[in-house]
Amino acid sequence: MTAKIIDGKEFAARVRAKVAQHVSRLKQDHGIIPGLAVVLVGEDPASQVYVRSKGKMTVEVGMKSVEHRLDVETSEADLLALLDQLNNDPEIHGILVQLPLPKHLNEDLIINSISPAKDVDGFHISNVGLLGTGQKSMVPCTPLGCLMMLRDHHGSISGMDAVVIGRSNIVGKPMAQLLLNDSATVTIAHSRTKDLADVVRRADIVVAAVGRPEMVPGDWIKEGATVIDVGINRLDAPEKGEGKTRLVGDVHFASCAERAGAITPVPGGVGPMTIACLLANTVTACCRANGLAEPEGLTA
């Protein structure tokens, strides 16, 4: 079998177009412009790139983008004061604090100080609890993007065997919860899992969120399974020239694509869906804040 490639770039563009359409309707019918505030503390180069592209895409879909770039030495009290101000700003519907934070700041305290209704990353403990009990919540962007692609490809995933490799709070656990909420039979694998190959071989759906380059080989994949590769790993690529690098996922793409029914590539798979889902969450948060109907197909 040769797998269908699930094109995350194209899918993300469709999600953004849907968001833009809804934003335009909110403006026209209600005079409301959804606003997203992104807070970056320090100068981590990767975080700066993410924040820049988040801001650019927020504006592209017609929303208001506010960026707060704070000094690396910003105190916890000052950051909490800014969050309080944003929590109370009626023009801001989504707040995202770019992680990781500098070590002197308590990440849990900061995240849990964002109003849950504006927590567009879905990391606030209230949103984690709501998702865990199958209630309406803000859903973490990367797993939401994976779920959208799975629903699009399969229609329903009810009754399917799914394995999530990785149990982080930002990807693995919420991903498993979303699959469970859609009635898949879910196994969560991690670094202590015995005979991972055997566990993965039983799965109709494999979501790899490990952070280990090309760790999952093709012969772990059940014939026809759907493979969602969340991993983003940068490897040296001397064949492309001195100092050059290339991105690979957590699955070995070529061999997995030979057995899978469908697979997401890296780059161009899950990655582009993450920011698209951040925008989707912001428009959802804005609708909820104003007591308006939520756009269909943009949330879990």
The residue from 18, 119, 121, 177 that is catalytic is 121
Which one, 7 or 294, has the nearer CB to ligand NDP? 7
Residues in touch with ligand NDP (CB under 6 A)? 142, 165-168, 170-172, 189-193, 196, 209-212, 230-233, 270-271, 274
CA-to-CA distance for 127 and 284, rounded, in angstroms? 14
In the complex, least distance from residue 299 CB atom to ligand NDP, rounded to whole angstroms: 18
In the complex, least distance from residue 141 CB atom to ligand NDP, rounded to whole angstroms: 7
CA-to-CA distance for 167 and 169, rounded, in angstroms? 7
In the complex, least distance from residue 81 CB atom to ligand NDP, rounded to whole angstroms: 29
Token readout for 57 is 């895409």
Which one, 172 or 295, has the nearer CB to ligand NDP? 172
Which one, 278 or 287, has the nearer CB to ligand NDP? 278
Asked if 114 contacts 79 with a C-beta cutoff of 8 angstroms, the reply is no
Active-site residue flag, 98: yes
Cβ-proximal residue to ligand NDP, closest one: 168
In the complex, least distance from residue 47 CB atom to ligand NDP, rounded to whole angstroms: 13
CA-to-CA distance for 76 and 80, rounded, in angstroms? 6
Asked if 279 contacts 35 with a C-beta cutoff of 8 angstroms, the reply is no
In the complex, least distance from residue 127 CB atom to ligand NDP, rounded to whole angstroms: 17
Active-site residue flag, 54: yes
CA-to-CA distance for 123 and 104, rounded, in angstroms? 20
Which residues, 6+ apart, have CB-to-CB distance to 278 below 8 Å?
36, 54, 94, 96, 120, 121, 141
The residue from 98, 118, 177, 229 that is catalytic is 98
CA-to-CA distance for 247 and 155, rounded, in angstroms? 30
Which one, 62 or 231, has the nearer CB to ligand NDP? 231
Which one, 74 or 264, has the nearer CB to ligand NDP? 264
CA dihedral 8, 14, 20, 23 (to 10 degrees): -90
Active-site residue flag, 108: no
- How many degrees, rounded to 5, is the angle at CA 30 between CA 28 and CA 36? 90
Active site residues: 54, 98, 121
